[in-house]
Amino acid sequence: MIKELLMSALTLMPAAYADDSSLGVEEFRHREAQCLAQNVYFEARNQPAAGQMAVMSVTINRVNDSRFPNTICGVVYEGPSRPSWKGTGEMIPIRHKCQFSWYCDGKSDIAQDKETFNEIFLLSEMVINGTIKLMDITEGATHYHADYVRPAWARTKTKTIEIEDHIFYRWEK
């Protein structure tokens, strides 16, 4: 059973998150854990545990901030989209316009390092289900960037912490 859940987490595409109104609590939590795991995997898989937990915290802090969507999947896949060139009616993200760059960078969104993804997914499930409490070492950060870029938005946010090559910021109310 666990193997099937992990495999579905590796392959589930964002279109599956479009309407979660008919999901039961367990299905909803499972999808939220998938979204959180994908975000942490693609944003921080090469980071130590503190960096991965910080990305997790930013994602959850956004869910708790009224300026962002109120679900993890909504936060992770937030950004403008357009109809696919395939003419199938599928909506795809506009390249380089998403909240999290991995989602609209034009690269595959399927985890290649399955062992690392599975570890992140299991941790994500424990956080979502309340089995473990996530300690927010980012002091409420809702944004971050790599230290080799200088986004214009950083000037309007409060820097909270640096972890490895990521700088975290809080968006004051």
Nearest to 54 by CA among 173, 163, 171: 163
List beta partners, residue 91: 83
* 137 contacts 54 by C-beta, under 8 angstroms: yes
Q: What pLDDT shows up at residue 87?
A: 82
- Within 13 A of 44's CA, how many CA atoms are on the CB side? 30
Give the pLDDT confidence of 32-58 residue by residue, as tens digits: 999 999 999 999 999 999 999 999 999
Q: CA-to-CA distance for 52 and 45, rounded, in angstroms?
A: 7
Look-up: residue for tokens 């989209």? 81
pLDDT (average), residues 75-79: 91
Nearest 5°: CA angle at 103, between 99 and 109?
160
Give the pLDDT confidence of 91-141 residue by residue, as tens digits: 878 887 888 888 888 888 899 999 999 999 999 999 999 999 999 999 999
Q: What pLDDT shows up at residue 20?
A: 60
Q: Are strands 166-170 and 158-163 parallel, antiparallel or unpaired?
A: antiparallel
- Would you call 154 helix, strand, or coil by DSSP? helix
- Whole-model pTM over 0.85: no
Nearest 5°: CA angle at 64, between 63 and 69?
35
Q: CA-to-CA distance for 163 and 48, rounded, in angstroms?
A: 9
- Which overall architecture, per CATH, does domain 2-170 show? Orthogonal Bundle (1.10)
Q: What pLDDT shows up at residue 21?
A: 61
Give the pLDDT confidence of 4-16 residue by residue, as tens digits: 444 444 444 454 4
Where would I find the H helices in the chain? 2-11, 25-44, 49-63, 72-76, 114-129
* 146 contacts 165 by C-beta, under 8 angstroms: yes
* 96 contacts 105 by C-beta, under 8 angstroms: yes
Q: CA-to-CA distance for 129 and 25, rounded, in angstroms?
A: 10
